[in-house]
Chains A and B, each alone.
Chain A
């Protein structure tokens, strides 16, 4: 149940999704990944990717200059 972070700032979609997807493929069930992004498209795409792959979207936070998305890895 480790916590991991991913810097996807300044990347435009779909690259943040690809980076998150690739990182999650290395993680274990129950681990959490927090992704830091700047492209507002990630607010749609990362949650959609989680739904499609059956991972849990723990939280999305939109600050003035960045978006912080936390995902929990499920057994899919």
Chain B
């Protein structure tokens, strides 16, 4: 936001690009989870664009992005976040977009040293080089720590009106924002991507381990955002909804899964991922009973649907005692 404003204030026409990777936090999770209902559902990049008075193009790269997540040339950050490869890819796409739409250069809000892996001084030239944008990439907030770029040399923007921020201290940026009349902030980058989340990364890694291959479909990564994920064995996993919003969201996935739900008592919809045996399904039913309102009863009726739109099989089960569900089964 700040980087855009700095360039706009030099009289340059700026438009925004926001890439949708499938791992974006906002929107989805808030829309799914009822308890988040009061949180703002607005899209923060659209909000920023509106504050700045610029157009924003939202581009779905979720399919192509798989390759970045599965095969990051520069490796992962603390979790399964391939930040450096991701930035190279996004800057490369932004530069291609510029060339297709008659724009002259790319700007990003990066600050040298702000992030341990992907925003170091040594990674800045890697992003510029590997994205092929070369010296048409301007980082207005830390330009004074970097070599002069083409737009500066051409006089399209003035170097003296760019900044020398570095490190994790955001105070100078906040002060600049105030002086430019910006007083409401959108969340800084990083908190908006599920791949930086430890629990989410563990679930993704578990999915790869269980399937014996590193791959995913968009539906897989959506479902990793909801429910309790419980894996009693390598061949199957349960996704147990935690509340009504998740229940409603997961209902949309019933055609693709075997699923269970209690009927004698209130309780969660549970999807079964994998290839469970009959004994596994019996165990699953007892766990569903455990998470139902009949958890303290001797007998709970759980319906099992092996294939959506086929008749349900009613199972009478005793809820599994909580101490029989080992912590190691919870994927988080």
Contact = CB atoms under 8 A, between A and B. Distances in A.
Given A41-B41, A48-B47, A48-B50, A14 B20 contact: yes
A43 B24 CA distance: 19
Interface in B24-52: 24, 26-28, 30-32, 40-43, 46-47, 49-50
Contacts of B26: 13
Nearest to A16: B27
Interface size class of B (residues with CB under 8 A): 20 to 34
Interface stretch (B54-62, B276-284, B304-312, B316-324): B54-62
Nearest to B29: A12
Contacts of A43: 41
Contact of A52 (B28, B56, B60): B56
B252 interface: yes
Tell me whether chain A's interface is mostly helix, strand or loop, or mixed: helix
Contact of B28 (A12, A48, A51): A12
A58 B18 CA distance: 25
B46 A45 contact: yes
A61 to B, nearest CB: 18
A14 B24 contact: yes
Contacts of A13: 26-28, 31, 41, 43
A51 B18 CA distance: 17
Contacts of A48: 42-43, 46-47, 50
A12 B27 contact: yes
A52 B27 CA distance: 18
A21 interface: yes
Contact of A15 (B18, B20, B46, B252): B20
Interface string A46-73: 0011011100000000000000000000
Interface of B: 18, 20, 24, 26-28, 30-32, 40-43, 46-47, 49-50, 54-60, 222, 252
